[in-house]
Chain A
């Protein structure tokens, strides 16, 4: 009975993610929203008015898998903005079986381990931050963080 239930979860996860049927699937719940800090030097999902992204991780393997979080990349910024003087960083925190996972803002690639079988639907909240000491021009800013699950 327990294994039948596992199969059902795997099917649902695969459909939602439209990703290869893998031992580990990642499903993006919501994208993040960036908001300006009070001092105007940061645009981040962790600022008041912003919202972090949510990601569901499903690991159906018997063993643990590694989830790799790469540093954010630019997906777009307005003309006139000095992107060269800006720094992108990512932070995340897990819940459920990933409750011990907590990464403060970093510009480096990081990874954490998801335990096997127990991790049917572990939630991860991700934040992105753009630091620009010289401020921001008007327009739309977009960043992208690639999260990879390596079995």
Chain B
């Protein structure tokens, strides 16, 4: 049988059953919480003489959470101050509110660290304001402060 007649091959094919297969996909998610800085804030001098992002622009963070996580937001600290700045009695405060899918209760200005429990969230936004008051006021120059946010 050097050559199988094509007609026979075709006949065999006609009576054979259809083939089917399951193609499987899998993925495991655990302990995911990511933070991103969508927009950094800018500081301005408010009417009470404080350096505040409410007098500039608030910062916007992105948060993505899978499962249950804890969000911790610390009060601001200086990153840099003007050379002539003289610290007196300083007060640092932060406030934030959730947007989009982030159903966090709004946090009014506070000088203490705060925490929030977050469940499953697609990418969501958190708007944040920071401000600093100084009993000796503020000298001319550039100032930068940061708020540390952790999630895990």
Closest chain-B Cβ to A43's Cβ sits at a distance in Å of 6
- What's the tally of chain A residues with a CB closer than 8 Å to chain B? 59
The answer, yes or no, to whether B47 is at the interface (CB within 8 Å) is no
Give the residue among B9, B26, B28 with the most A Cβ atoms within 10 A.
B26
Select one of B13, B21, B120, B123 contacting A26, CB under 8 A: B21
CB of A38 to closest CB in B, whole Å:
7
Are B25 and A138 touching (Cβ within 8 A)? no
CB of A24 within 8 A of CB of B64, answer no
Most buried by A among B3, B27, B28: B27
Residue B31 lies at the interface, judged by CB distance under 8 Å to chain A = yes
Residue of B4, B22, B26, B66 near A40 (CB, 8 A) is B66
A interface residues with partner B (beta carbon < 8 Å) = 3-4, 7, 17, 19-28, 31-36, 38-41, 43, 45, 50, 53, 55, 60-63, 72, 75, 80-81, 126, 128, 132-151
- Chain A CB within 8 A of B19 CB: yes
Interface residue? B18 (CB, 8 A): yes
Judge whether A147 and B21 touch: CB under 8 Å: yes
In the complex, the answer to whether A19 meets B21 with C-beta atoms within 8 Å is: yes
